[in-house]
Amino acid sequence: MVMKTIQNVLAFLLGTLLVFLIWASITANAEGKNNTIKIAIMPTFGAHQHIGYEVIDRMKAQGINVETVIIKSSTQGNGLLMNKQIDVNVGAITSFILLDNKKPGEGKLLSAVSHYKFFLLCTPDIKNMQDVLTTNIVTSGRNTTEHHTIRWLAKKHFNDAYALEKNFITMSRPQIYQIMKAGSKDIKCVMTGAPLQNQLQDELGLKVIEQSDVDNGIAGSYNVYWTRTDFAKANPKIIEAFVKTTVGVIDEYNQDPTKILNSFITKDKLKFTKSYLLKSYKKNKSVFHYDLRGAEYFNDFLHEIGYIKGDKTDLNQATFDLNLIQK
């Protein structure tokens, strides 16, 4: 009898504990106390990942559980974001604008990361944009910032954003390097991101025919962080911590890049030296910033050429907290 009573008491206590744990979990998530964030990374892109790696390390140091998910493109990241397989995506501003166009209000910009120039690189026999019409241009994907920059150059030179569409082909970055190294009578121009665009100049002798222009047109590469609106609403504290950490890392990097780059080259798969990365950033006129300077150029251009139809994204309205990223 006594044993049965003890068993009943233990069963009651265990059941009560289980109910409490379930309630606590639900309450924590409802109050934004989730302590886990899944962040996308692109390990083979050296243009901004040193910032991303440092942000992740510092988030972990704050006691936040950070999980990283490798992505190949921000387009792929958008799919994972909407399927709740990641919480923060990273990549081209154009990918965020496209997401907002397709799913208005479902994404929130967090901060910028960087922008830098894209170069239209060609073999020495291609002298100008008229010559570019006679060959193919290779890049790593359709409707990427590289592709849109080519459209911007076509609009600038030929008054037609789509004048070079038939000259446009795609392949992976390793394939781009190999085909330009081998030489091709059909492919003599390339537009791609850093650090590959620097390798093509330094190692293969490709020449700059044209380039993006952050002051009078689209910047070229323009990278940002964004999240789902529902995740930001449910977890405002963890998102605020992410943005503040990003701001702190970028400010520190701009004062002295040494420590952050030294840490980055031990993790990154590109195996570039710190001096080469700094040289590349200088050549590309890379700017590391968290405010949204220059982002409107992309927004305006995508609508101007009819790539995105309907209402234009209000980037200020789409930002989680503008006050956190104002200079």
- Write out pLDDT tens, residues 32-58: 456 899 999 987 666 788 999 999 999
Q: Which residue has the tokens 């031990």?
A: 266
Read off the pLDDT band of 20 (50, 70, 90): very low
- pTM for the structure as a whole: 0.85
Contact 204, 175 (CB under 8 A): no
- pLDDT, position 119: 95
Q: What percent of the chain has pLDDT over 90?
A: 67
Rounded to the nearest integer, the mean pLDDT of the chain is: 87
- Mean pLDDT, to the nearest integer, of 157-175? 94
- Write out pLDDT tens, residues 203-257: 999 999 999 986 666 768 899 999 999 999 999 999 999 999 999 999 999 999 9
CATH superfamily of 35-117+220-325: Periplasmic binding protein-like II (3.40.190.10)
Instruction: Map out the domains of the chain as residue ranges.
Output: 35-117+220-325, 119-211
Helices (H), 121-235: 129-132, 145-158, 173-182, 196-204, 229-234
Which one is predicted more confidently, 65 or 44? 65
d(CA 120, CA 212) in angstroms, rounded, equals: 8
Read off the pLDDT band of 11 (50, 70, 90): low
Contact 239, 55 (CB under 8 A): no
Q: What is the CATH number of domain 119-211?
A: 3.40.190.10
Domains 35-117+220-325 and 119-211 share a fold: yes
**First CA to last CA distance, the chain:** 73
- pLDDT, position 80: 97
Residue type, 168: F
Q: Which residues of 84-109 are buried (b: 16+ CB within 10 A; e: fewer)?
A: eebbbbbbbbbbbbbbbbeeeeebbb
